[in-house]
Amino acid sequence: MQMFTRKKFKEILDARVLLTVESLHKPISVRKRKVLVYLVTVIYILGLVLAGQTKSDIRGNFLVLGFILTILYVLALVLIFWFGQTMGKALIITERGLAFYPVAAEKWDDIESYSWQEFKGISRLPGPTVFSSREGVCLRIFNKGIFQRSLESRSGNSIFATYLIFFSPEKIALAEQIFHQHGLKRKN
């Protein structure tokens, strides 16, 4: 499946680019990812040492704490690598489809319709910094077929909202024109 996805990404990205929409997130550098991995590893090892030092009559406490710390450690590593790859990437719309690595690669033939999702007021999204929030309009894609590939987050929002891929009014107009050329209908 992954080879198919990489092939599909390459095929879409080899075509002429029609529109690029940048993320509001800044990319996470390789150096910063290495520092985060080092920091998480040090915290994990310190947690294991402290868990081993606890004075308890029951040996199972260390095993339970070690298990919990290991799960948290693995989760932290997955998040560092996942977000390290996706933060700051752009949504690219080409003559063959749209691609946002590693989340979405959709050819025009695979897309049934689209819509726009607005985030404003109390529905603003957490911004690129800790205490910021952002307003904007995100693209929602609906695939053809019975089995839908998920392009929505768990909250039901567009997956592009998670990565702060917001369209300006000019880019919305250009995207609408591109979608119309490829026979996509706007879903209300």
What does the alpha-carbon distance between residue 118 and residue 1 come to, in Å, rounded to a whole number? 33
Residue 139 corresponds to which tokens in the numbers above?
Answer: 């693209």
Residues of the chain with pLDDT under 70: 1-4, 54-60, 85-86, 121-133, 145-156
Which candidate, 69, 70, 79, places its Cα nearest to that of 36?
Answer: 79
Instruction: Return d(Cα 111, Cα 115) in angstroms, integer.
Output: 12
40-58 pLDDT, tens digit each:
999 999 888 877 776 665 5
CA atoms within 13 A on the CB side of 27: 8
Per-residue pLDDT of 103-130, as tens digits, reads 788 899 988 889 998 887 666 666 665 6
pLDDT of residue 160: 83
